[in-house]
Structure 1
Amino acid sequence: MTATTRIAVLVGSLRADSTHRRLAEILAEETPAHVELDIVDGLDRVPFYNEDLDGADAPATATALRERVARADRVLALTPEYNGSIPAVLKNAIDWLSRPYGAGALVGKPFGVAGATPTPYGGKWAHGDTARAAGVAGAKVVEDVTVSQPAVGIDVTTDAELRAKLLEAVAKLVEYDAEAAAA
């Protein structure tokens, strides 16, 4: 029997009908039974990171975020690109997850980033910024997982090629072995 791999999914869009949220839901339905995708809700309720708020009395929403990600084996960010960079809500989540320094919920976790945007670049700048921020926070960024899909003229929720790329990215994230990669 294969052990279950839990992946915390951080969605970088807050829009009610977010494409990236829908992609997360599709992936949750289509991943193998031994993979559990936990779509982390409530990022909009986490206050902007402020060291004065952090510590033993950190906001409950920030504490809940940290606990959910700490319970996961892996982390996947599904995000659009806003003005050539990472959406503020996702950056804020990473900021909270990076603390306490050196012992945050992302430390040592395999981390992937993917998305599809209606630009010729597919969100690659946001994905690069997300990977960099997660890496600085201590995550093990899995480069093979990055999917920056241009979505000009396609329905990303039904496109078979994109779905296959995203499912392959999830599989690579599940299969990633940090010890083997370090050797």
Structure 2
Amino acid sequence: MTKKIGFIVGSLREGSFNKIVAKKFADLLPEGFEAVFLEIGQLPFYNEDLDVDGQVPAEWASFRQDVQGVDGVFFFTPEYNRSVPAVLKNALDVGSRPYGASSWGGKPALVVSVSPGAIAGFGANHHLRQSLVFLDMPTLQQPEAYIGGITNLIDENNEIKADTVNFFQTITDKYIEFFNRFN
């Protein structure tokens, strides 16, 4: 049976480096695994007042169902002000509610931060990991996936350099080993 891995990209920008990297990771999944891109830009901001029967926004209900339908999750995040983008944090909040009915629990996760800068989204990577601990998502610890200087790792056609793709493959392979411990 094919295992579905949810791919969540924390950048909404059309030419997002995180989207480019996520697509490459999707290509690297082995046979028996399928990347499922979960869109988060359409989600209204979480507001507990709306999270009652008959009032739940359709986008929330659909997203929660989509998250429940995957076996693991890859998160790709830029760093905004030393943390994750609001759209990504909102997706975590929407998927974790209502209290006691989180869609995230137990799903093995991978965090990849991508940035043109030298510190490679370190703050966003670690802030996201803090939330994943609370959400009961075991997260791959090694190798760490800080992708800094991304503009030096892609060409004018948005193709990622071979040695970087090799690193991505190592991360993917380690995630699959990690995933298999839980499934």
Instruction: Give the TM interval when normalised to the shorter protein.
Output: 0.7 to 0.9
Consecutive unaligned residues of structure 1, counting only runs of 5 or more, are: none
Q: What is the rounded CA distance, in whole Å, between the counterparts of 1:100 and 1:86 in structure 2?
A: 22
Alpha-carbon offset, residue 166 of structure 1: 2.4
Deviates more, 1:6-15 or 1:154-163: 154-163
Q: What is the rounded CA distance, in whole Å, between the counterparts of 1:25 and 1:154 in structure 2?
A: 18
Give the secondary structure class of the aligned counterpart of 2:50: coil
**Residues 1:109 and 2:107 aligned together:** yes
Name the residue aligned to 1:80: 78
Alpha-carbon offset, residue 31 of structure 1: 2.0
- State the identity %: 32
Deviates more, 1:152-161 or 1:79-88: 152-161
Pairs aligned (count): 177
Consecutive unaligned residues of structure 2, counting only runs of 5 or more, are: none
Name the residue aligned to 2:116: 118
1:1-183 to 2 correspondences below 5 Å: 3-41=1-39, 43-56=40-53, 57-144=55-142, 146-151=144-149, 154-156=152-154, 157-176=159-178
Deviates more, 1:89-98 or 1:51-60: 51-60
Give the secondary structure class of the aligned counterpart of 2:41: helix
Alpha-carbon offset, residue 178 of structure 1: 7.9
Q: Is the 8 A contact 1:24 1:39 kept in 2?
A: no
Alpha-carbon offset, residue 174 of structure 1: 2.4
> 1:53-86: per-residue Cα shift (whole Å, max 9, x none)?
1132311111111111111110110111111110
Q: What is the rounded CA distance, in whole Å, between the counterparts of 1:15 and 1:30 in structure 2?
A: 23
Shift >3 Å, 4+ stretches:
177-180
Alpha-carbon offset, residue 24 of structure 1: 1.6
State the TM-score, normalized to the length of structure 1.
Answer: 0.87
Q: What is the root-mean-square deviation of aligned Cα atoms in Å?
A: 2.0
